DNA sequence: TACATTTATCGCAATATTGCGATAAATAAA
DNA sequence: TTTATTTATCGCAATATTGCGATAAATGTA
């Protein structure tokens, strides 16, 4: 995303877009699914789980991490990737707010 | 998104990714914000609201519509765009499920 | 130190997205 | 029908994303 483009929008809008964008690829949804399913989470496991090469998965993990959706701790010579709840709460409250807003409107339109 | 790429993932993963991707741009978040704020919703209004040209906004609306996040009804010589709650519920339950999954794990990792 | 394992980065090609000017299409109003 | 208003589409350039082979970096182990 270009540096100047985000200037036109609020920080909140940019953050939501960044989080949504990070989830906007089936492989990254699959990674989130897997991180939620297993207890110990190592990138190597994910490579065996998804139909993608290791560098590709590493890059997807990087994007999820940059967006704040996951965090990674060095654990021996592997890395333990985990879901970061903070970012998810942002998304969750976004959709909750929309639902509440829709209820408030109640068919004023369309 | 390439046609063959989605084959490797489940329909659910693809749907979630499609919805997230559609929200993965600040302009489209801003459009959702605006649709929620106003009662009557016409594309022309949005053009005045956002720092983007009319064809650009039309395209963003198209992407939101393709993803199922909004719906548009012809209303005179304008078009009434509205948020489609169905798609939002999919996203909302996705994040709710993750939250519940995280609670169930409760620090088994990291 | 040398080697194995695991993850990250580089560099590239293919593809997708973004933004917009020009223009078309659709409808309403005169 | 002519004109104005509103929205969609086309075509293009600029930029971003995706995927992966090759390779580097980091850490554990012998």
* Per-residue tens of pLDDT for chain A, all 110 residues: 433 567 789 999 999 999 999 999 999 999 999 999 986 778 888 999 999 999 999 999 999 999 999 999 888 888 999 999 999 999 999 999 999 988 887 655 66
User: Is B1 a member of any domain?
Assistant: no
> What gap in Å lies between CA A55 and CA B36, rounded to an integer?
40
Identify whether B69 is part of a domain: yes
What is Dmax (Cα atoms) for chain B?
58
Nearest of B77, B9, B26 to residue A30 by alpha carbon: B9
Asked whether residue A86 is assigned to any structural domain, the reply reads: yes
Please answer yes or no on whether B24 and A17 come within 8 Å at the CB atom: yes
* CATH value at residue A70: 1.10.10.10
Q: Does residue B105 fall inside a structural domain? A: no
Tell if the CB–CB gap between B9 and A20 is shorter than 8 Å: no
Please give the tally of structural domains in chain A: 1
Any chain B CB within 8 A of the CB of A20? yes
State the pLDDT at residue B4. Answer: 52
B19 touches strand C (CB under 7 A): no
Residue B41 lies in a domain: yes
CA atoms within a 13 Å half-sphere pointing along the CA-CB vector of B108? 13
B62/D13 CA-to-C1' distance in Å:
22
Whether A33 is in a domain gets the answer yes
Mean pLDDT of the B84-102 span:
94
C-beta atoms of A29 and B16 within 8 A: yes
* % of chain B surpassing 70 pLDDT: 89
The CA–C1' separation of B45 and C16, in angstroms, is 29
Note whether residue B106 is domain-resident. Answer: no
Boundaries of domain holding B20: 9-100
- The pTM assigned to this predicted structure is 0.93
């Amino acid at each position: 995303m270009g540096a100047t483009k985000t200037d036109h929008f609020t920080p909140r809008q940019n953050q939501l877009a960044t989080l949504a964008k990070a989830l906007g690829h089936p492989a990254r949804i699959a990674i989130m699914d897997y991180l939620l399913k297993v207890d110990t989470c190592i990138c190597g496991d994910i490579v065996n789980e998804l139909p993608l090469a290791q560098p590709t998965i590493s890059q997807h993990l990087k994007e999820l991490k940059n967006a704040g959706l996951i965090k990674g701790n060095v654990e021996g010579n592997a890395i333990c990737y985990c879901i970061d709840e903070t970012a998810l709460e942002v998304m969750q409250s976004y959709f909750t707010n929309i639902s509440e807003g829709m209820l408030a409107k109640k068919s004023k339109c369309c």
